[in-house]
Structure 1
Amino acid sequence: MMKVLIAGFGTVGQGIAEVIGSRQNLFSSMNEKISIVGAFDSSSLISGKNLNPTQLVEKKKTTGKVGTKEIPDDVARYIEEADFDVLLDTTPTNIEHAEPGLTYILSALHSGKHVVTSNKGPLALKFSTLSAAADKNGVKLKYEASVGGAMPIINLSKQLLAGEDITSLRGILNGTCNFILNRMKEEGLPFYQALREAQDLGYAETDPTYDIDGVDSAAKVAILANAIFGMDVNYYDVVRSGIRNITEDAIALAAEENSVIRLIGEIGGGKLEVAPRLVPVAHPLSIGGTQNMASLITDLAGEITISGRGAGKKETASAMLSDLISIIRDKE
């Protein structure tokens, strides 16, 4: 039996709990059982031998808390001492100092526990530190869900394309920006009207800074640069500009050149950058909506393009599930 502890029980935490509950037959076919032995949010904690995912989610929805006990003052110590095999870290991204996720992940790794995380902050700021801790303690650090939601770019690159020399990457890594830019083009909307529409539909946060100023995309570029290209960089190494200053005139001028404007993350050829770029309408990266998409240039297979929904409860849970299955298979 593989015992998991869920750190953070917002939308993503609830999503992975529900998926664990619904995929027990899959785990059984792999001669494994996944048991949730604990979960905590910002104010409460619950622990037990085999917690019911449906009941956990229902309690969170009805009371605002997942647990029946107050969260301990020293969560790091709790993680170190608790009896579990995998930490499922779904804590929110903090790009300034990566806490509390950074401490939670390091505590798990140092105590010999695997980690599956959706949190970009620790990876974007301390990737080499986390990787070294996992290697030193002989455990796995998995983070497909941190970049692109249901777009499996990390596992694709590291597994199916393991024999390729990947020389560069260009991609749309933020669905919110893509939605806004597409609405500006299709409907002729000014930036802030398109932003309000994205907020009304739930695609953009009340404070959209991370999205529209390229912070989210830059964090993902840093993670991909380390994970796929073997670099040793962090978020602050990425040259970044967002879409806040894109005007209707700029959108119209792009259309005259049979192009669209997209916020593109780039790695390779000396570039480590996020910026608005002109993209020909016939190119895959001209895609609209909230999709994420990335194009990899390889030496043998040429250009490979992958896309998927970049955010959402089920989409992120899907990515975390794939990492959890990878850990199960590595046990065999």
Structure 2
Amino acid sequence: MKTIRASLIGFGAVGQGVAKVLLAKKDYLQSIGIDLRIVAIADSRTAVIDSEGVNLAAVLDSKKKKGVVGSEKISGTDIIKTIDHELVIETTPTNIDDGGVGLTNMLAAFEKGMDVVTSNKGPLALKYGELIETANRSGSKLKFEATVGGAMPVINLACDTLAGNKILSMEGIFNGTCNYILSRMVEEHASYEQMLAEAQELGIAEADPIYDVEGIDTASKLVIVANVIFGMNASYRDVTVTGITRITPEALLLANRDGYAIKLIGEVNDGKINVAPKLVPLDNPLAVGGTLNVFSVQTDISGPITITGRGAGSIETASAILSDIISLYKN
């Protein structure tokens, strides 16, 4: 049995999802030889530390009832620097301007030779090359399946399952919020503003949805995919981005009558990265509805391969984090 001591930095929706998944899968992890102990958890205000492993159920209860994880006044970065452990699970919010605290946490972990599993898109969308180089230099591993497709295994599909294939191009829907809004606008013959409000009421859209609806979230994910799959060493600033805020119900209905849907499509083709609303035939695999995401690649050997799944949600994203942890330590 391999004992892995880990910190969980960031305890919002995704961090709490990770805690719930680890509780549910504790016996399974041990059955494959992984004794994963979370020795520290930090949110934006407090922390809890226990070298024997924190009580995840108690921390979830504290967060729900009190809004904090514990009583310790230590930052996530300081936990990484001072607490003895091997793995950092980094789930702080995405910052696309400068990478935010997530970038600081990852670099601090690599300085100590720690592995990192993350759902945080910002650092990878801005500093992918630097992070990979720093991790390699320190002998650390960096896994980030959760940054792109949630429960939809985009990176593992391209890099592992399709190993040996040359991927020629890729396209897909990478934002469930936008897809939900566009789908509902057609169903209800309603405006963007009305369906955004509905998505916010249901918790599908954030109170400030700009990252989603302006295509920023999709662009960030696309950069990560482009760098991993195509070796482009691109950053967010290399993406041409158009969001969905100007799409009218009239345009959607007209497209629908002609046999098309309008979807926010991200694509990498001929060394270019683009995010924009596009007409998609209704019988095309990309024409998924609701909050579903879809990822399609064109390969030289296998031809077109398309997968569909839930790209958002705390448990779905946590499932990708769990998969990355298992891939690091199972063998």
Between the aligned partners of 2:189 and 2:33, the Cα distance in structure 1 is 55
Is the counterpart of residue 126 in structure 1 residue 110 in structure 2? no
For 1:2 and 1:178, locate their aligned partners in 2 and report how far apart those are by CA, in whole Å: 38
Cross-structure match for 2:99: 98
State which drifts further: 121-130 or 252-261: 252-261
Residues 179-188 or 22-31, more deviating? 22-31
Q: Deviations along 1:110-160, whole A, 9 cap, x unmatched?
A: 210000000010011111111111111111100011111100111111111
Instruction: Give 2:305's aligned amino acid.
Output: I
- Name stretches of at least 5 consecutive residues in structure 1 with no aligned partner: none
Which residue does the alignment assign to 2:326? 325
Aligned length: 328
1:12 to 5, 14, 20: 14
Matched position secondary structure for 1:159: helix
Matched residue of 2:18: which SS? helix
Give the drift of 1:108. 0.4
- In the TM superposition, what is the alpha-carbon distance from 1:59 to its structure 2 partner? 1.1
Query: How much identity, in percent, do the aligned residues show?
Result: 48
Task: Kindly indicate whether the alpha-carbon contact (under 8 Å) linking 1:151 and 1:308 is maintained by their aligned counterparts in 2.
Answer: yes
* Deviation for aligned residue 1:77: 4.3
Contact 2:150 2:311 in 1 (8 A): yes
Correspondence for 1:43: 45
Gaps of 5+ in 2: none
| 8 Å Cα contact 2:232/2:271 also seen in 1 | no
Alignment of 1:46-61 (within 5 A): 46-48=48-50, 49-61=52-64
Q: CA offset at residue 21 of structure 1?
A: 1.8
Identify the range of structure 1 (313-322 vs 178-187) with the bigger mean alpha-carbon deviation: 178-187
The one-letter code sitting in structure 2 at the alignment partner of 1:68 is S
Q: Is residue 286 of structure 1 aligned with residue 287 of structure 2?
A: yes
* Equivalence for 1:21: 23
Residue 183 of structure 1 corresponds to which residue in structure 2?
184
Matched residue, 2:69: 66
Q: Deviations over 1:226-264 (max 9, x none)?
A: 111111001110000000000122112212321010000
Following the alignment from structure 1 to structure 2, what is the Cα–Cα distance between the partners of residues 186 and 31?
Answer: 49
Q: TM-score, normalised by structure 2?
A: 0.97
Q: Which moved more, 1:111-120 or 1:250-259?
A: 250-259
Quote the residue 2:254 is aligned against: 253
1:42/1:71 contact within 8 Å kept: no
Q: How does 1:55-204 map to 2 (within 5 A)?
A: 55-72=58-75, 75-204=76-205
Q: What CA distance in whole angstroms lies between the structure 2 residues aligned with 1:177 and 1:14? A: 24
Which portions of structure 1, spanning 4 or more consecutive aligned residues, are displaced by more than 6 angstroms?
none
Offset, 1:328? 0.7
Greater shift, 164-173 or 188-197, is seen at 188-197
Distance in 2 between residues matched to 1:158 and 1:16, nearest whole Å = 24
Deviations 1:39-90 (A, max 9, x none): 1011111111211111111111111111211124xx5344123211110001
1:91: how far off?
0.1
Structure 2 match to 1:207: 208
Cα distance between partner residues in 2 of 1:51 and 1:78: 14
- CA-to-aligned-CA distance 1:259-314 (integer Å, 9 cap, x gap): 01000000012430000000000001111100010111001110000111111111
The 1-side partners of 2:173 and 2:21 are apart by: 27
Aligned-partner Cα distance in 1 for 2:299–2:38: 40
Instruction: Evaluate the alpha carbon distance shift between residue 200 and residue 77 of structure 1 in structure 2; reply closer, same or farther with a 3 A threshold.
Output: closer
Aligned residue identity for 1:83? D
- Does the 8 Å CA contact 2:178/2:212 hold for their aligned counterparts? yes
Q: Deviation per CA, 1:147-204, whole angstroms, max 9, x where unpaired?
A: 1110011111111111110011110000011011111112211111111111111111
Are 2:327 and 1:297 aligned? Answer: no
SS at match of 2:305: strand
Quick one: which amino acid aligns to residue 69 of structure 2?
Answer: V
